[in-house]
Amino acid sequence: MIVAIASGKGGTGKTTVSASLTAIWERPVVAVDLDVEEPNLHLFLKPELISTETVNLEVPVLEPSACTLCRACSELCQFKALAIFGKTLMVMPEMCHGCGGCFEVCPAEALKRGNRELGVMEIGHSRGQIPCLTGRLRVGESMSPPLMRHIRHRMAEMAKDMNADLIIDAPPGVSCPAMNAVQDSDVILLVTEPTPFGFHDFQLAWQAFAPLGKPMGVVVNRAGLGDDRAYAFCEAKGLPILAEIPYRREIAEHYAKGGLLAEMDSEMRWRFASLQEGLDRLNRGVSHA
């Protein structure tokens, strides 16, 4: 099973839920941090780092003597990475999306294959044997989807090789990075908080993810804070609430110390164990307990 843990709003508790679920998961599992802009899962799972690999995007490098200024590449490029100024072709590798189109259309072999560093992929082991896979975007790099694609490719290999489930910590929002993170999942777990901001962004997340046709469940974090419209929405849309985490200062303090919520006390452990059962039921096609 592949579970993607997502939300519209940031800071609703995606990482808290991902880390705790990983810690209590009863089958082999790989924890995957696809929030490559601000990866945080390792701060709670504290993996011992085994390998770090640089991830690059293939970008064009100009061979000026071969370029005939035919404009085939600059007319094709949709991202303004290639442009002709006067009698020179200018290459702006930071604008490149890595589509490879310029190599295809250049009739003069004037573009060589170079690289732009997107970031790194880190693999570590948490608690002895739980593999943790993290993507970390280079500061200054604007495009996270290409790095995410690389991590997704690797996570699929790891799941297959180890016959393991995947728990994916997704980035906030509902645009391309968030969509990228939930694409491969069997089940989407939405983490929300019952405040006006939380509810608004929760509806956006539902609108973005519902067309994918995947089963979805909900965790209500900071239950008791704000208002109760999220509950009515879940009921109306048939979204099962698989766990609630109460709004309590000691929980916020436990998190601030870097503690795992599932290990705070036996009641919290029980809440996460029943969350796993709920996810298993959703994955088997049983939507309600």
Partner 1 sequence: MREIVVISGKGGTGKTSLTAAFAHLAQDKILCDLDVDAPDLHILLEPQTRRQGAFLSGNEAIIDPGLCQACGLCAEKCRFGAIQAVEGSFRVNASRCEGCKVCVALCPHQAIDFQDRLCGTWYQSETRFGPMVHAQLFPGQENSGRLVSLLKQQARELAQQKGIDLILSDGTPGIGCPVIASLSQATLALIVTEPTPSGLHDLKRIADLCEHFRIRTAVLINKWDLNLDHTEAIETLCAEKGYVPVGRLPHDIQVAQAMVQRKAVTELEENPFNLQVRQIWKTIESLLPNN
278: number of Cβ within 10 Å: 23
Give the DSSP per-residue string, 158-180. Answer: HHHHHT-EEEEEPPSSSSHHHHH
Work out whether 217 is an interface residue with partner 1 (CB under 8 A): no
Work out whether 101 is an interface residue with partner 1 (CB under 8 A): yes
Work out whether 288 is an interface residue with partner 1 (CB under 8 A): no
Residue closer to partner 1, measured from CB, 84 or 105: 105
CB 101, min distance to partner 1, A: 4
Q: Which residues contact 172 (CB under 8 A, 6 or more apart)?
A: 7, 8, 9, 10, 11, 14, 35, 178
Stretch that binds partner 1, among 83-91, 124-132, 249-257, 279-287 (CB under 8 A): 249-257
Alpha helices in 99-228 (DSSP H): 101-105, 145-162, 176-182, 196-209
Residue 149: burial class (beta carbons within 10 Å; 0-12, 13-18, 19+): middle
27: number of Cβ within 10 Å: 10
Within its chain, how far is the Cα of 21 from the centroid?
Answer: 16
CB 105, min distance to partner 1, A: 6
**CA pair distance 140, 201, nearest whole angstrom:** 27
Work out whether 52 is an interface residue with partner 1 (CB under 8 A): no
CB 5, min distance to partner 1, A: 14
Work out whether 100 is an interface residue with partner 1 (CB under 8 A): yes
Residues 11-50: x/- map of binding to partner 1 (CB under 8 A)?
xx--x-------------------x-xx-x--xx------
Work out whether 134 is an interface residue with partner 1 (CB under 8 A): no
Place of tokens 């072999």: 109
Residues 136-175: x/- map of binding to partner 1 (CB under 8 A)?
-x-xxxxxx----x---------------------xxxxx
Q: Which residues contact 71 (CB under 8 A, 6 or more apart)?
A: 84
Work out whether 201 is an interface residue with partner 1 (CB under 8 A): yes
Q: How many residues bind partner 1 (CB under 8 A)?
A: 59
Stretch that binds partner 1, among 63-71, 135-143, 260-268, 275-283 (CB under 8 A): 135-143
Q: Which residues contact 44 (CB under 8 A, 6 or more apart)?
A: 15, 16, 19, 258, 259, 260
List contacts with partner 1 (CB under 8 A).
Answer: 8-12, 15, 35, 37-38, 40, 43-44, 76, 78-79, 97-101, 104-105, 137, 139-144, 149, 171-177, 179, 183, 195-197, 200-201, 204-205, 207-208, 211, 225-227, 249, 252-253, 255-258
